[in-house]
Amino acid sequence: MGSADILSTLPELVLIATALLLLVMESAAEPHRELLAATALGGLAIALVTALGYGADGLYYSGMLQVDPYARFVSALALVLAALAIMVAVPYLRRTLEERGEYYSLMLFATVGMLLMVKAQDLTMVFLGLELLSIPLYVLAGFYRHRSSSNEAGLKYLLLGAFAAGFFLFGIALLYGSTGTTSYSGMAQAINSGTELSRVLTLAGFGLLLVGFAFKVALAPFHMYAPDVYEGAPTSMSAFLSTGPKLAGFATLLKLIAVVFAGTMVHWWTAIWILAALTMTVGNLAALRQDSLKRMLAYSSVAHAGYLALAILVTNYDSGFAMLFYLTVYVLTTLAAFGIVSLLEEGEESAMPGVEACKGLARRNPWLAAAFTLALLSLAGFPPTAGFLGKFFLFNATLDAGYLWLVILAVLNSLVSVYYYLRPVVAMYMQPGKNTSALPIPRMLIPALLALAVVALGAGFIPAPLVHATASAISAIL
């Protein structure tokens, strides 16, 4: 191990140091809580600079990590996402008098897990990264210890997540048994040259890995936990729960398939086809019936996982590029949508804002209503938002690969989703609300709303910068 190795993990080390500093700050005799968020954001900013600027591309830590443009792009997106999730959380935590150093600290640890997952070049590191992402999220989902709904969310997520981790590990064990290694390059070599012990064991191992990933990104039928967990968790946390694991999970799975399992995927096409079709249909149909905004967004995130699974099915340059573009747009819009919902939530115990909470919002806060509308339209995929472009790229790549019926199903699903995405919009603009006083918009929420506007409208009208960025990132692995 040399200084080059340490330099390659500089973003992770900065984040770990900041997270530990936050724990120390919290345990001071008279903690200065108002400095906690700023410290966490400072750490994330330094990590972002180091992730983009430092260290040469290549393999590090005796082949455990690989730094390449793909890892850099996903890392940068993960860091931006974490920073925005913290900014969304600050007003929410302060209003509910729950601002504590552990919240930010655990968020940073989870971010380290995401970075390690996408950089990993060995299944051992993927598993450790996945757990480093998951364990803080279990705690954060149950962060509001006096709310029974939050406790339920944390416990449910922990139990089911631990079960999924078992599948994941079993998959790694079978793959090790078959190929004799856990490193991407070693496995790829064994699989492509046919020197693995048994093709069947390799396939079984990948299937179990797929179950583990499907749980983390909430693909049906492994999505059962998602609505309950996202609804019960603190709203500022639901924003991260429905975006962070999806980003890291899909990015890692795509890299794993592209680099290692491309030769064996022909056996899995039917299964992934069914997973994708089932996920988008179940997510959209269930979202139709939801009155609670958080539950509706939770099912919507399940449906989006179904669309993203199309990219996993195809796994070529076009679909990989479409997946990265879609993920970028999806995580930032969903985060902003949850951020706005967290504002609508009264400070009451276990208040779950329903669609009626939106009534008359256009009168009370025109800008907030416009931002929420933009987020929902982008999620539904209306032109000219970036959500439309993402869907267009994704469906186009799938169609080129010859999956006509799946694309037809996906388009029908998008049409169905318009109904539930427009319900809050109708409530905001066309129905009078009881309360007419404007909601105070916290300053910390503004960056998240700006990011939403930039990515949903900016990338919708001028897609070239984001297209170039994602295309050059994806060319590193496909």
Tell me which residues touch other proteins (CB under 8 A): 1, 9, 16, 23, 61-65, 100, 102, 105-106, 109, 112, 116, 122, 124-125, 128-129, 131-132, 135-136, 138-139, 142, 145, 154, 174, 178, 197-198, 200-201, 203-204
Pairing assessment for the beta strands 58-60 and 65-67 based on DSSP bridges: antiparallel
CB of 36 to other proteins, least distance (A): 14
What are the φ and ψ backbone dihedral angles of 180, each rounded to 5 degrees?
Answer: 80, 10
Identify whether the C-beta of residue 150 lies closer than 8 Å to the C-beta of residue 234. Answer: yes
Which is nearer to other proteins, 96 or 328 (by Cβ)?
96
Which is nearer to other proteins, 36 or 296 (by Cβ)?
36
The length of the chain is: 478
CB of 134 to other proteins, least distance (A): 10
Binning the chain into helix, strand and coil, the percentages to the nearest 5 are: 80, 0, 20
Identify whether the C-beta of residue 23 lies closer than 8 Å to the C-beta of residue 102. Answer: yes
Which is nearer to other proteins, 225 or 321 (by Cβ)?
225
Which is nearer to other proteins, 180 or 383 (by Cβ)?
180
Helical pair 148-179 and 225-232, crossing angle rounded to 10 deg: 140
Which is nearer to other proteins, 134 or 414 (by Cβ)?
134
CA atoms within 13 A on the CB side of 418: 9
- CA dihedral defined by 88, 93, 94, 99, rounded to 10 degrees? -120
CB of 103 to other proteins, least distance (A): 9
Q: How far apart are CA 267 and CA 256, in angstroms?
A: 16
Which is nearer to other proteins, 106 or 444 (by Cβ)?
106
Long-range residue pairs from 265-271, CB within 8 A, at least 24 positions apart, any chain = 265/315, 267/203, 268/203, 268/206, 268/207, 268/210, 269/313, 271/207, 271/210
CB of 286 to other proteins, least distance (A): 21
Which is nearer to other proteins, 196 or 318 (by Cβ)?
196
CB of 119 to other proteins, least distance (A): 10
Spacing of C-alpha 27 from chain mean position: 30
CB of 186 to other proteins, least distance (A): 12
CB of 201 to other proteins, least distance (A): 4
Token reading at 188: 């790829």
